[in-house]
Amino acid sequence: MSHSNEVQGVGVIGLGAMGRGTAMALHESQLDVVGCDIVDEARLAFEREGGKCVASPVELAHCNVIVVLVVNADQVETVLFGEQGVAPCLAEGSLVIQCATVAPAFARDLNARLEAMGLAMLDAPVSGGAAKARRGELSVMASGTPGAFSQAEPVLDAMAATVYRLGDAAGVGSSMKLVNQLLAGVHIATAAEAMALGLRMGLDPQTIYDVITHSAGNSWMFENRVPHILKGDYSPLSAVDIFVKDLNLVHETGRELAISTPVAASALQQFTAAKGAGFGREDDSAVIKVYQRLSGITLPDAANDSGGV
């Protein structure tokens, strides 16, 4: 690796579910990591685990790799270009690894603006959840120039089990993530809908799970999320709000490109209703409560949990 590609400091912006785990995984590798979050508790939690922290992105100006693990495009905008944004202060040739789920058009525009400032960008949305983030085992759907990939390599090695290299152009990583989110979001809503119909027909919920996970109706999300419903445990691993956001990105991208996505639109309405009913911060499997509120079904209750799943 050439000298210019050496990582002189990694700033991780956003110490939420994904960010804190990733920052810790990077910290445990040989990298010099500084975390950044405006939320005091997020910084304190990272510091308790031995991490270094700052409250403002601009304090990461000495880093030559910035990993952006915030929730949406507005936050990406703020941490890079806002009043305390770090982008204008980075040394020429520094790299921004953009990991948020954003519209492909936003990723392309962001890349153009960073390039104009002499900075490199990798469009690199992640998936895998908080537990895999902590183990440095995320999946990364990434696109960018060979130079950006080379510069990112030590960081990606420490945070990801799998890196899909999707080509040179910014936006491709974000496009692939959007395809995944369309499927994931619809599958969660459909798992809830199928469980609700099954319960309404009088089927035993555990039996539905056992049969469907061995049948053609199975999905990764059905298998992963329905146990939350069976336990009556809606503690958020990934929240309803995330799919309101991500299926809205699908909708907006479809509108821009004039391609209709009616199945995703219907799932979006169910997540939107779940948010409207007050379940936005619960686990995304809580979308089943929309069906519960509109029918006579009784959901499995945490208090009645037999510990079967």
**Toward a copy of itself, which CB reaches closer, 94 or 181?**
181
Q: Candidates 26-34, 44-52, 172-180, 229-237 — which segment interacts with a copy of itself by CB under 8 A?
A: 172-180
Give me the least distance between CB of 83 and a copy of itself, in Å please: 33
# residues contacting a copy of itself (CB under 8 A)? 69
Contact 181, 93 (CB under 8 A): no
User: Is residue 285 close enough to count as binding a copy of itself by CB under 8 A?
Assistant: no
Give me the least distance between CB of 104 and a copy of itself, in Å please: 6
* Rounded CA separation 148/102 (Å): 19
- Other beta carbons less than 10 A from residue 214's beta carbon: 9
Task: Show the site string, 50-89: x = touches a copy of itself by CB under 8 A, - = not.
Answer: ----------------------------------------
Q: Catalytic residue numbers?
A: 177
Of residues 278, 290, 284, the one with CA closest to residue 246:
284
- Other beta carbons less than 10 A from residue 265's beta carbon: 14
Angle between the 40-48 and 17-28 helix axes, to the nearest 10 degrees?
Answer: 30
**Toward a copy of itself, which CB reaches closer, 94 or 261?**
261
Residues 6+ apart with CB under 8 A from 241: 275, 280, 281
Contact 104, 253 (CB under 8 A): yes
User: Is residue 248 close enough to count as binding a copy of itself by CB under 8 A?
Assistant: no
Of residues 146, 9, 118, 25, the one with CA closest to residue 66:
9
User: Is residue 308 close enough to count as binding a copy of itself by CB under 8 A?
Assistant: no
Interface residues with a copy of itself (CB under 8 A) are 104, 127-128, 139, 141, 162, 164, 166, 171-172, 175-176, 178-184, 186-187, 189-191, 193-198, 200-203, 207-208, 210-212, 214-222, 224, 250, 253-254, 257-267, 269-270, 291, 294-295, 297
